Structure 1
């Protein structure tokens, strides 16, 4: 990917950030493979992931309930007599 001359001065910063992130990822991988702390870390990651998924599911269920309520309200409005609708007479 070619960079523009205007962004060339950002390249050293981007490289430094990329190196720092790569080192952190390598360190996390080493920790997860550690026989002593690895199991504890994997369990913590699994539990936090479960909590995240449960919270996300609860949020989606709440959104579905709101949508269902809006649909019910719309259906109730359809039952009312409309004086300009000549098909109801």
Structure 2
């Protein structure tokens, strides 16, 4: 795919960002493979992932409760007759 002249201006910036990210990923991989710190890092990642998933489940449960309450409130409005006031 040929690049347009406009995108050619951004190519050095994109390459620099890609190189920076690649270096960080390589450093993280080295740290995870380290016999001393690697185990601590892997454990920390696992624990934070568990906490994230538990928080996400709690948030979803809360959203379901709110939706259930909204459905209940909508059911109460079904008994309302908008023309009752005209008979008085």
Q: Distance in 1 between matches of 2:25 and 2:9?
A: 26
What TM-score do the two structures reach when normalised by structure 2? Answer: 0.86
Q: Distance in 1 between matches of 2:67 and 2:87?
A: 28
Q: What is the CA deviation profile of residues 23-47 of structure 1, one whole-angstrom value per residue up to 9, with x for unaligned ones?
A: 1101101110111100000000011
Which deviates the most, 36-45 or 54-63? 54-63
Residue 53 of structure 1 is matched in structure 2 by 53
Shift of residue 13 of structure 1?
A: 0.7
Residue 88 of structure 1 is matched in structure 2 by 87
Q: Distance in 1 between matches of 2:76 and 2:34?
A: 61
The structure where helix makes up a greater share of residues is 2
Shift of residue 87 of structure 1?
A: 18
Shift of residue 54 of structure 1?
A: 1.1
**What's the C-alpha RMSD, in Å, of the aligned pairs?**
3.3
Shift of residue 77 of structure 1?
A: 1.3
> Kindly tell me: are residues 63 and 9 of structure 1, through their superposed partners in 2, closer, same or farther at Cα, counting changes over 3 Å?
same
The unaligned stretches of length 5 or more in structure 2 are none
Shift of residue 86 of structure 1?
A: 16
The unaligned stretches of length 5 or more in structure 1 are none
* Runs of 4+ residues deviating >3 angstroms: 83-89
